């Protein structure tokens, strides 16, 4: 392994890339791992409804976590197989200790076990209000609902999760991202497009009225192009949130599955960072629609990572994953997805962005294209294997055996 790494270092050094520096940056880059992959976005409350709001989890692979202890056990198995230190992303519906409390009444103590888990495993925490899979969202409308009573419920829910986010940060001495996404929209052509967006704006204004220390809580809002049941009109569109975030000086969150399949989210990053100090990303893999497939080590993912690194924005981007697949082993989905995101970041860190920028500025497009193609032949995998070895996690697909053994001994026995 050492000889392979030294050979790779020489090749990358010829392009002006310091492999040791790239590995150090990768080690410090934390990804927010979404808890909801482990239980098919069900949560631990007694909401009385199945997953809805355009959320569709397909498959029934054995071993779904059915309670907090099982979910935490599964997360620990995944963390052992993923290099680096990361974050854990929660939804409000994953409260513990009182599963009958209304969402607008939740308190920080409902998440004490998650805080204890974070302390024990060296994790920071992020949180999202859960504005779906609930009787108060049965018609697909929440913060834009024409009924003030419904809006009030969800406004108070979001206020509560902001308080919880601040508590997380104070307890863990780190920033917590509080991200708002709503499913609101209409299946067919609406009769009024302005009214729902005005109500959403006013709801958000009230939610964000109370100011918290930005060293503790980072507020973000997440857009969506369309979804199941809201094919014709989505209230929280990209244009709405882009303008709202700019006006309120909060963070805009881009979900890679929430845009048209032909749109490049990677291309949006440089424009966003020209006008914003921070940016949030939810990374999934949409196939034809926002189907939240496990993140693959694809050209699109590399482009996304290269956009972050070339903009010198690794400390400006809050990057979390957001997929849920029940057709395969859920722990394998976590491990594969996070490791692929890390691979993409390493690929970007090993790319000679400065050299390629100079080629572009000097209009040497021949050399630029050759450099793009030559990078595909570079010994990237040797550097990745070295990183895994230094972090004491399995290389290549060697981690799968441990996951399958856990499935045989633990997951397969769950009902």
pLDDT digits (tens), the chain, 415 positions: 789 999 999 999 999 999 999 999 999 999 999 999 999 999 998 755 556 666 788 999 999 999 999 999 999 999 999 999 999 999 999 999 877 899 999 999 999 999 999 999 999 999 999 999 999 999 999 999 999 999 999 999 999 999 999 999 999 999 999 999 999 999 999 999 999 999 999 999 999 999 999 999 999 999 999 888 899 999 999 999 999 999 999 999 999 999 998 999 999 999 999 999 999 999 999 998 888 999 999 999 999 999 999 999 999 999 999 999 999 999 999 999 999 999 999 999 999 999 999 999 999 999 999 999 999 999 999 999 999 999 999 999 999 999 999 999 999 999 7
What whole-number distance in Å separates Cα of residue 103 and Cα of residue 100? Answer: 9
Nearest to 240 by CA among 180, 280, 267, 200: 200
Of the residues 9, 91, 167, 224, which is catalytic?
Answer: 224
What whole-number distance in Å separates Cα of residue 324 and Cα of residue 23? Answer: 29
Question: Could you give the dihedral angle defined by the CA atoms of residues 386, 391, 396 and 402, in that order, rounded to the nearest 10 degrees?
Answer: 160
**What local confidence, expressed as pLDDT, does residue 54 receive?**
66
| Residue 144 · residue 197 · CB < 8 Å | yes
What whole-number distance in Å separates Cα of residue 278 and Cα of residue 250? Answer: 8
| 282 belongs to the catalytic site | yes
Joined together, the tokens standing for residue 293 give 């497939």
Of the residues 255, 300, 325, 382, which is catalytic?
Answer: 255
| 156 belongs to the catalytic site | no
What whole-number distance in Å separates Cα of residue 71 and Cα of residue 69? Answer: 5
Of the residues 40, 322, 325, 407, which is catalytic?
Answer: 322
**b/e per residue, 355-385, with b = 16+ CB within 10 A?**
ebeebeeeeeeeebeebeeebeebbbebbbb
**What local confidence, expressed as pLDDT, does residue 50 receive?**
59
**What local confidence, expressed as pLDDT, does residue 52 receive?**
63
Of the residues 36, 154, 181, 384, which is catalytic?
Answer: 181
In Å, what is the CA distance from 80 to each residue of 77, 94, 114, 234, 332?
A: 5, 22, 18, 39, 12
What whole-number distance in Å separates Cα of residue 175 and Cα of residue 126? Answer: 8
**pTM surpassing 0.85?**
yes
| 116 belongs to the catalytic site | no
**What local confidence, expressed as pLDDT, does residue 309 receive?**
98
Q: Based on DSSP, count helices (H) and strands (E) in the chain, helices before strands.
A: 14, 12
The DSSP bridge partners found for residue 285 are 293
Domain boundaries, the chain: 30-343
| 40 belongs to the catalytic site | no
| 293 belongs to the catalytic site | no
Which H helix or E strand runs over 3? helix 2-13
Nearest to 78 by CA among 330, 274, 276: 330
The DSSP bridge partners found for residue 255 are 282
DSSP assigned state of 283: E
Of the residues 45, 184, 219, 222, which is catalytic?
Answer: 222
| 224 belongs to the catalytic site | yes
Q: How many CA atoms lie within 13 A of 199 on its CB side?
A: 22
**What local confidence, expressed as pLDDT, does residue 47 receive?**
52
**What local confidence, expressed as pLDDT, does residue 99 receive?**
75
Residue carrying the six token digits 């970007």: 348
Looking at CATH, the fold of the domain delimited by 30-343 is given as: TIM Barrel (3.20.20)
| 222 belongs to the catalytic site | yes
Residue carrying the six token digits 């930005």: 214
Give Cβ neighbours of residue 103 (< 8 Å, ≥ 6 apart): 45, 47, 92, 93, 129, 130, 134, 136, 153, 157, 160
Q: Please, where are the H alpha helices in 16-101?
A: 19-28, 68-80
What whole-number distance in Å separates Cα of residue 76 and Cα of residue 89? Answer: 14
Task: Please tell me the total number of residues recorded for the chain in this structure.
Answer: 415
Question: Could you give the dihedral angle defined by the CA atoms of residues 372, 375, 376 and 377, in that order, rounded to the nearest 10 degrees?
Answer: 140
What whole-number distance in Å separates Cα of residue 293 and Cα of residue 287? Answer: 7
């Amino acid at each position: 392994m050492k000889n392979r790494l030294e050979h790779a270092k020489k090749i990358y050094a010829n392009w002006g890339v310091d492999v040791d520096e790239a590995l150090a940056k990768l080690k410090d880059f934390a990804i927010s791992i979404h808890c909801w992959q482990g239980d098919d976005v069900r949560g631990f409350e007694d909401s009385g409804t199945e997953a809805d709001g355009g959320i569709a989890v397909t498959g029934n692979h054995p071993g779904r976590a059915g309670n907090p202890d099982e979910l935490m056990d599964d997360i620990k198995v995944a963390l052992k197989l993923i290099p680096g230190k990361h974050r854990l992303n929660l939804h409000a519906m994953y409260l513990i200790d009182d599963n009958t409390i209304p969402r607008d009444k939740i308190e920080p103590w409902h998440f004490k076990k998650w805080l204890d888990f974070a302390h024990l495993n060296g994790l920071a925490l992020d949180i999202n209000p859960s504005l779906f899979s609930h009787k108060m969202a049965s018609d697909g409308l929440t913060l834009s609902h024409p009924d003030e009573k419904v809006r009030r419920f969800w406004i108070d829910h979001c206020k509560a999760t902001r308080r919880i986010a601040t508590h997380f940060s104070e307890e863990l001495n780190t920033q917590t991202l509080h991200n708002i996404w709503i499913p609101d929209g209409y299946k067919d052509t609406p009769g009024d497009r302005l009214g729902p967006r005005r109500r959403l704006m006013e709801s958000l204004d009230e939610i964000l009225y109370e100011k918290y220390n930005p060293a503790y809580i980072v507020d973000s809002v997440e857009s969506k192009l369309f979804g199941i049941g809201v094919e014709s009109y989505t209230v929280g569109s990209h244009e709405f949130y882009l303008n709202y975030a700019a006006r309120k000086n909060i963070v805009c969150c881009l979900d890679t599955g929430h845009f048209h399949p032909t749109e490049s989210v990677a291309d949006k990053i440089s424009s966003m960072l020209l006008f914003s100090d921070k940016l949030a990303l939810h990374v999934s893999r949409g196939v034809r629609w926002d189907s939240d497939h496990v993140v693959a080590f694809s050209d699109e993912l590399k482009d996304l990572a290269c956009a972050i690194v070339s903009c010198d924005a690794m400390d400006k981007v809050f990057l979390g994953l957001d997929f849920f697949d029940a057709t395969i082993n859920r722990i394998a989905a976590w491990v594969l997805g996070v490791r692929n995101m890390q691979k993409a970041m390493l690929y970007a860190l090993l790319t000679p962005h400065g050299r390629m920028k100079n080629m572009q500025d000097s209009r040497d497009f021949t050399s630029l294209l050759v450099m793009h193609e030559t990078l595909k032949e570079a010994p990237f995998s040797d550097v990745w294997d070295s990183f895994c070895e230094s972090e004491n996690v399995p290389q290549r697909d060697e981690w799968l055996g441990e996951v399958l053994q856990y499935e045989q001994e633990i997951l397969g026995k769950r009902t």
